[in-house]
Amino acid sequence: MAEWAPKRFWTCATVEPAGDGFAVHLDGRPVRTPAKTPLILPKPALAQAIAVEWDAQQGLIRPETMPMTRMANSALDKVAPLHGAVVVEVAGFGGSDLLCYRAEAPAPLVARQVRAWDPLLDWIAVEGAPLVVTAGLMPVVQPEGSLARLRDRVAGHDPFRLTALHDLVAITGSLVLGLAIAAGRIAPEEAWDLSRIDEDWQAEEWGADEEAAEAAALRRAALLDASRFFGLCG
C-alpha cells in the first residue's frame, strides 16, 4: 500500500500581519508548524519567501522543496525552546574548528590552507577571539577567553538566525566560517569552497568520486539555503 502524502488543498498563500510578526495564510487560514505552533515570522521578506514555497506546490506537497519553511519550523519548534542548548552546540565547534587543523604535508596543500584560512583567523582574532592553529589531528586546547567570546557571539542570535547559523556551522565544520557568512564577511559560495580544501585536493590527486560529489552538492545547496534564510531574517 502506498504511503499517504498530503496534497495541495489551498488556492492562494498570502502574508498577513500577526502581532509583532507576519503569518502565512492558506486561503485565509494561518499555517502552523508540525508541533502546532503558529508560524509567525519576524520579517515580511521571510514570510513572503515561505508563501512562495507553499504556492509553488503542485499536487503532492514536497517538503524537500521548502527549505525556508523547514528552517522556520525548526526555529519555532526546536531552537526557541532549547536556545541555550543550541548555543552550546554551535559554539562548541570553536573548540575544534576546521580552520585550526592543518595538513602536515604536502607543502602545496599546506600553503593552500594558509592562504585560504589565515585571513579568517586573523579576522576572528581582531574580533577578540584568537584561536590556536595546529598541524595534524591531535586536539589542541583553545583559549578559554576566545571560546567564551565566541559563545557570547553565538548567543546573541535569535532563534531564527540561530537556526540558520547552526546549519552554516555544521555543514562547513567551522564556527569561524559560519560567523563570517553571518557577518557578511564572505559569501556562502566562498565559504563552501574554503571548507572543501582538503576534499578538493584529494579529488585533484586521485579523481572525484561520483557518489561523494552528489552528496557534496546537496550539502552545498543546504548551505546556500541557510545563508538565504539568515539574510531574510535581517
Res 136: pLDDT: 85
Q: Read off the pLDDT of residues 39-73 as tens digits, 9 standing for 90 and up.
A: 999 999 999 999 999 999 998 999 999 999 999 99
Res 1: pLDDT: 37
Residue 81 clears pLDDT 90, i.e. is over it: yes
Please tell us whether the domain made up of 82-232 is placed in CATH 3.40.50.300: no
How many other C-beta atoms lie within 10 A of the C-beta of residue 93?
22
Res 209: pLDDT: 86
Dist. CA 78–CA 210, nearest whole Å:
34
Res 4: pLDDT: 47
Band the pLDDT of 76: cuts 50, 70, 90: very high
C-alpha cell recorded at residue 59? 499536487
For residue 106, whether the previous peptide bond is cis, meaning omega lies within 30 degrees of 0, is yes
Dist. CA 28–CA 64, nearest whole Å:
24
- CB < 8 Å & 24+ apart, contacts of 50-55: 50/24, 51/13, 51/14, 51/15, 51/24, 52/13, 54/10, 54/13, 54/24, 54/26, 55/12, 55/13
SS (H, E, C) the chain: CCCCCCECCCCCEEEEEECCEEEEEECCEECECCCCCECEECCHHHHHHHHHHHHCCCCECCHHHCHHHHHHHHHHHHHHHHHHHHHHHHHHHHHHCHHHEECCCCHHHHHHHHHHHHHHHHHHHHCCCCCCCEECCCCCCCCHHHHHHHHHHHHCCCHHHHHHHHHHHHHHCCHHHHHHHHCCCCCHHHHHHHHCHHHHHHHHHHCCCHHHHHHHHHHHHHHHHHHHHHHHCC
Band the pLDDT of 5: cuts 50, 70, 90: low
Residue-range domain boundaries for the chain: 1-65, 82-232
Q: Read off the pLDDT of residues 157-191 as tens digits, 9 standing for 90 and up.
A: 999 999 999 999 999 999 999 999 999 999 999 99
The whole-number average pLDDT for the span 21-31 is 96
The answer to whether residues 60 and 6 touch, using CB atoms and an 8 Å cutoff, is: yes
The whole-number average pLDDT for the span 184-208 is 95
Name the least confident of 107-116, 121-130, 135-144, 150-159. Answer: 135-144
Res 192: pLDDT: 98
Amino acid found at 194: L
Res 207: pLDDT: 87
Res 131: pLDDT: 98
Fold of 1-65: ATP12-like (3.30.2180)
Res 208: pLDDT: 82
Model pTM? 0.95
